[in-house]
Amino acid sequence: MLDDFEFQSRRSPVYGRGGMAAATQPLAVAAGLKLLAKGGTAADAAVAMAAALNVTEPTSTGLGGDAFALYYEASTKRISALNGSGRSPDALTLERLQHEGLDKSLPAFHPYTITVPGACAAWCDLHERFGRLPLAQVLEPAEKLAEEGFPVAPITAYFWQRGAARQLAQAVNGHELTQDGRAPSAGELFRNPGLARTLRQIAEGGKKAFYHGPVARAIAAVVAEAGGCLAEKDLAEHASTWEEPISVEYRGLRIWECPPNGQGLAALLALNLLSGFDLAALPPLSAERLHLEIEAMRLAFADTFHYVADPAFTPAPLEALLSPAYAEERRRLIDPRKANKHLAHGTPPASSDTVYFCVVDGEGNACSFINSNYMGFGTGIVPHGLGFSLQNRGLGFSLQPGHPNVLAPRKRPFTTIIPAMATRAKSGDLFGPFGVMGGFMQPQGHLQLAVALADDQLDSQAALDRPRFCIQPETEGQMTAIEAGIPDETLQALSEMGHVVQQVNGMGRSLFGRGQIITRDPASGVLCGGSDPRADGCAMVYLA
């Protein structure tokens, strides 16, 4: 039974040279490898994988959601950051929510939580800048999977069942993503001809086919039917943005993240704090080491929740927040012996259910990509006949007047989805793309993988296999979930240090995210891939 699934991995890391892809679904990996075999770049393969994941894991991702990417271009050693998050409707204001009695909070699946889906534009923009093959060829594997059907993977079937009983059962047209009202079982074929048609339209007309015309009209119509206010005009005015990534140096690596409105800042803040401690001298799963990591992460969240917002409205003081001087100031708040009960944001000197996947091509280009509906199927609202559900990313807004992240028209919300990339600090050579999906677990996962790779020199698979912690920053007292596999004496010691801890096992371990890693040896070009045992996926090499 899946309820008893123990997420035990007995995998070795995957090695190869011709190119490599890693994702939560083997069929998506196969789509990426197919594009590499046709001479495509990491960007071509990444878009093919994103589209295939929309088909095979609609429980987490799709054209109704947002996407972010980091792209490493081998010829220039330059990293580009793509922000594919959408903005709130022009008609959605705090005053409107107050008038309707929703000024304190929005229900999780309310149509007002629907922001413009940014994924399609992100796919097309990444392909346009770094792709080599025609878009129709890139989307063909996903279109075929949708049209002919695919066998549903076991963990995906589990979460599909939860979504079918939750938002899909209540949402407008939610039944279109079910088998006569129920979720498909593991191994059962699921066809999605509506999504196949949508992918064909995008293949022929690019992003314009999504944000204008029949697709845009269908999205606006179903949102209006559900009681929301996202309009065709909001869709027509959407655009992705290319931005400068942010980074810090950690143990000889430079760790890169997308800038706000994402929470990648939290991972970098925490790594800056930990750079002042000798973690390698402490046992990896000891209370002493986990205490330092947890405290660093709690301090990072305090700053992130205060400063991260749409930079077009309220830019964060990134240079100051990531400065060594600010890290030194905040590090003084970490007591190696006990948890600090009162952590607030600092003042630096002036100066989401998701899919994550990565790919490295034979030329050494790399793409770290994340795509999400938020909360599984998002709102569960499906534009009739299009084959995907609409996200509820608007839940990321604050409804507190004056807050940097307060809801406003045409504004991007705080978003949890973040890809990561590592390069070698001195040479700028690619170390590798990596990421861990899953709401507020994501920066915590980035931190724990970076520590495993840099402090402990683990290979890609061993780093992903290691048991994790997950702070619940939205809970009172910031309870920390501890994954089964971390010793009982560590839990006891953390509790005695003042942490509120709870062990999590079974299917509950999905809380700790699902990650992928591909690293590259700059001398030999050998790639080393790992895929999270907490998911259905794999890493696989392309044999050139």
Residues tagged active-site: 354
As a three-state string, the secondary structure of 151-173 is ECCHHHHHHHHHHHHCHHHHCCC
**Would you give the DSSP letter of residue 183?**
P
Order across the sheet with 469-471: list the strands: 469-471, 480-483, 501-504
SS3 helix, strand, coil % of the chain, rounded to 5? 40, 20, 45
Classify burial at 145, counting beta carbons within 10 Å of its beta carbon; exposed 0-12, middle 13-18, buried 19 or more. buried
Contact 115, 394 (CB under 8 A): yes
* Structure token pair of residue 22: 């890693």
Q: Shortest CA distance to 415 belongs to which of 388, 381, 379, 440?
A: 440
What phi and psi, each to the nearest 5 degrees, are found at residue 309? -160, 180
Helix (H, G, I), strand (E, B) or coil at 177: helix
In this structure, the number of other CB atoms found within 10 A of the CB of residue 212 comes to 14
The answer to whether 381 and 173 are in contact (CB under 8 A) is yes
Pairing of strands 253-257, 20-23: unpaired
Residue with tokens 């995906």: 156
Q: Are 29 and 539 in contact (CB under 8 A)?
A: yes
Q: Where are the alpha helices (DSSP H) in 132-278?
A: 135-148, 154-165, 167-170, 193-205, 208-211, 214-226, 232-236, 264-274
Residue whose C-alpha is closest to residue 256's, from 266, 245, 271: 245
Burial 316-328 (b: 16+ CB within 10 A, else e): bebebbbbeebbe
* DSSP-assigned letters across all residues of 313-357: TS---HHHHTSHHHHHHHHTT-BTTB--S------PPP---EEEE
| CA R_g for the chain | 22
Instruction: Please count the other Cβ atoms lying within 10 Å of the Cβ belonging to residue 178.
Output: 18
Grouping H, G, I as helix, E, B as strand and the rest as coil, residue 31 is helix
Contacts of 203 (CB under 8 A, 6+ apart): 135, 136, 138, 139, 140, 143
